[in-house]
Amino acid sequence: MSSPDSGSINVLRAGLYINPHYAKRHKGGEDAACMNENMISVADGVGGWAESGIDPAIYSKNLCKLIDELYSSGDDRYIYSPKELLVDAVKMNQEVGSCTCVILTLDK
């Protein structure tokens, strides 16, 4: 935790570990996550896309990459509106697919 003088007293101290299903480990699974001191996001790729020849991992991993980039841009509206962060990232994601996603932001 930072000192009150630093302007940031609420921070996440955590790590990520993704443990994919055994049959999907060769490609790193279909799920993705990203986090920093004030945001965490987890995206669960929809495996049904594989039936159409689409790798579900590509969409969820790119979505988390975009979420991380947008949040790191310093735009304060994303701290107060994770929904807006998700909507903007989905609009930017050019990959085919879908996922379930949850985003938690922690006000500094």
pLDDT tens-place values along the chain, 108 residues long: 445 555 657 776 777 767 666 766 666 577 899 998 889 999 999 989 989 999 999 999 999 999 999 999 989 899 899 999 999 999 999 999 999 999 999 877
CA 50 centroid distance within chain? 21
Query: What value, to the nearest 5°, has the Cα angle with vertex 35 and ends 31 and 20?
Result: 25
User: Which has the closest alpha carbon to 1: 48, 37, 34?
Assistant: 37
CA 101 centroid distance within chain? 7
Range of the domain at 38: 4-105
- CA-derived radius of gyration, the chain: 15
Count up the domains in the chain and report the number: 1
CA distance 55 to 2: 41
Give the residue carrying structure tokens 């940031």. Answer: 8
- For the entire predicted model, the pTM comes to 0.81
